[in-house]
C-alpha cells in the first residue's frame, strides 16, 4: 500500500516553487522528526533513495533523497527532489531492504514511511535530482 499524506488535497502546479517554499521554512523541520515534514507536505513522495555511507561505517545512511516523480528515463532524474540529512545515522541495510521490496526504485510505501518518520532532520534542501 502506498503511503499518502492527509495534507495532500491541494493541487500543486509548480513543484519546484512549492518545494523551495518548504526549503525556505526548513527551520520548522530541522531538529524535528521527519513525520513533521511528512504531515505538512502537500505533494506525494513517490520514491526514496538511501544515500551515502559514513566512511568509517558503511552501514550508516547519512542522507536520503525523496522524489515526487518516478523517473521513466535518464532526463527525468533532473526533477526537483528533497534531500534530507539525518541528525543520527540511519541503518542503511534496513533502508535498502525496504527499498528493494518494491523493485528497481524504493517506492514510498507505508513501510518506508514507518521506517523514516521517527528519524530527526538535521538539514533539508531542494535540488535537481541528477542522481
Asked if residue 1 is part of any domain, the answer here is no
Higher pLDDT, 101 or 78: 101
pLDDT given at position 6:
44
Higher-confidence residue: 116 or 12? 116
- Beta strand ranges found along 12-128 (DSSP E): 47-51, 60-67, 80-91, 106-107, 121-128
Report how many domains make up the chain.
1
Distance, CA of 131 to CA of 129 (rounded, Å): 5
- Residue 4, in any domain of the structure: no
Question: Is residue 3, in this structure, part of any structural domain at all?
Answer: no
Domain that holds residue 20: 15-128
CB count in 10 Å sphere of residue 101: 12
Strand partners, 48: 66, 106
CB atoms within 10 A of CB 115: 19
In a domain, 9, yes or no: no
Per DSSP, what are the bridge partners of residue 64? 50, 84
Bigger pLDDT: 46 or 72?
46
Q: Identify the band that residue 129 occupies on the pLDDT scale cut at 50, 70 and 90.
A: low
Residue 69 belongs to some domain of the structure? yes
- Considering the entire predicted model, what is its pTM? 0.82
pLDDT band at 73 (very low <50, low <70, confident <90, very high): low
Between residues 2 and 82, the one the model is more confident about: 82
- Interval 27-67: pLDDT, tens: 999 999 999 999 999 999 998 999 876 677 778 899 999 98
Residue 8 included in any domain: no
Amino acid at each position: 500500500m502506498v503511503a499518502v499524506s492527509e495534507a495532500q488535497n491541494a493541487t500543486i502546479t509548480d513543484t519546484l516553487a512549492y518545494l523551495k517554499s518548504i526549503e525556505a521554512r526548513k527551520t520548522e523541520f530541522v531538529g524535528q522528526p521527519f513525520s513533521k515534514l511528512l504531515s505538512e507536505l502537500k505533494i506525494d513522495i513517490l520514491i526514496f533513495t538511501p544515500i551515502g555511507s559514513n566512511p568509517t561505517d558503511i552501514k550508516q545512511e547519512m542522507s536520503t533523497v525523496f522524489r515526487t516523480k518516478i523517473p521513466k528515463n535518464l532526463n527525468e532524474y533532473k526533477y526537483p527532489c528533497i534531500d534530507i540529512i539525518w541528525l543520527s545515522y540511519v541503518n542503511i541495510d534496513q533502508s535498502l531492504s525496504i527499498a528493494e521490496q518494491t523493485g528497481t526504485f524504493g517506492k514510498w510505501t507505508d513501510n518506508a514511511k514507518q521506517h523514516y518518520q521517527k528519524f530527526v532532520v538535521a538539514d533539508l534542501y531542494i535540488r535537481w535530482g541528477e542522481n
